[in-house]
């Protein structure tokens, strides 16, 4: 609770940070952002989450080797989903995302945000993560990083290598890790976020 950045200032400037200084992140700061994550809601307040903090160089290389392959296969091939963003920021995003994919092992912390799978609760969807009980916490973590002067961004491509990565990190089969958050002190700058106007994506009473 050491920060008093304004809520709206944090939300409006918490840019995705994809380039980091090499400086290590103190354990206390990591716990602080995770604690902020746990203040988020979860279904019936079940808190079915867990967090794995990866700083070990070998583990980070293991993850990067898999993440980078998937990134370049998915994006460099042109199968990009970035076509809705303004063109200048689209190019910058691609450059930074590509840099991140190739330098994951150099990021001080890779935070795996884990959540239980539905299991018997949802016949036919047993294996699926309880997304609604982890992504609100993920957003709190991203905002907490912004508030504490850390950089962070939301990534999900590691999930395509879930079996190998979970085995490496000892994550139990009952859990998925729908989000991985690289964290460190930022080389990129936080700053104003540009999005499509709210009025364009808002419908009153009916779509």
Q: What is the smallest separation between the CB atom of 168 and a copy of itself, expressed in angstroms?
A: 8
Output 70 or 90, the one with its CB closest to a copy of itself.
90
Q: Which of 19, 69, 85, 106 binds a copy of itself (CB under 8 A)?
A: 85
- Per-residue binding string, a copy of itself, 162-191, x by CB under 8 A, is -------xxxx-----xx------------
User: Does position 108 bind a copy of itself by CB under 8 A?
Assistant: no
Output 69 or 85, the one with its CB closest to a copy of itself.
85
Beta-carbon count within 10 A of 65 CB? 13
User: Does position 8 bind a copy of itself by CB under 8 A?
Assistant: yes
Beta-carbon count within 10 A of 154 CB? 16
User: Does position 96 bind a copy of itself by CB under 8 A?
Assistant: no
Beta-carbon count within 10 A of 7 CB? 9
Residues from 55 through 84 that contact a copy of itself (CB under 8 A): 55-56, 59, 75, 80-82, 84
The separation between CA 95 and the C-alpha centre of its own chain, rounded to angstroms, equals 18
Q: Which of 21, 22, 24, 39 binds a copy of itself (CB under 8 A)?
A: 39
CA dihedral 183, 187, 193, 195 (to 10 degrees): -80
The separation between CA 20 and the C-alpha centre of its own chain, rounded to angstroms, equals 15
Q: Sort residue 6 into left (φ over 0), alpha (ψ -120 to 50) or beta.
A: beta
């Amino acid at each position: 609770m050491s920060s008093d950045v304004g809520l709206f200032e944090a939300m409006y400037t918490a840019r995705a940070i994809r380039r980091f200084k090499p400086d290590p992140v103190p354990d206390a700061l990591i716990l602080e952002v995770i604690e902020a994550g746990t203040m988020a809601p979860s279904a019936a307040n079940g808190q079915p989450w867990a967090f794995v903090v990866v700083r070990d160089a070998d583990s980070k290389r293991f993850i990067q080797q898999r993440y980078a392959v998937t990134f370049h296969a998915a994006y460099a091939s042109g199968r990009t989903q970035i076509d809705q963003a303004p063109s200048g920021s689209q190019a910058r995003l691609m450059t930074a995302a590509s840099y991140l994919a190739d330098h994951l092992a150099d990021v001080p912390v890779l935070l795996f945000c884990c959540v239980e799978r539905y299991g018997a609760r949802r016949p036919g969807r047993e294996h699926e993560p309880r997304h609604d009980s982890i992504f609100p916490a993920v957003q709190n973590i991203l905002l907490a990083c912004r508030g504490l002067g850390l950089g962070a961004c939301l990534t999900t491509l590691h999930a395509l290598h879930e079996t190998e990565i979970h085995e490496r990190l000892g994550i139990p089969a009952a859990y998925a890790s729908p989000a991985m958050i690289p964290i460190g002190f930022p080389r990129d700058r936080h700053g104003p976020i540009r999005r499509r106007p709210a009025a364009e994506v808002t419908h009153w009473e009916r779509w």
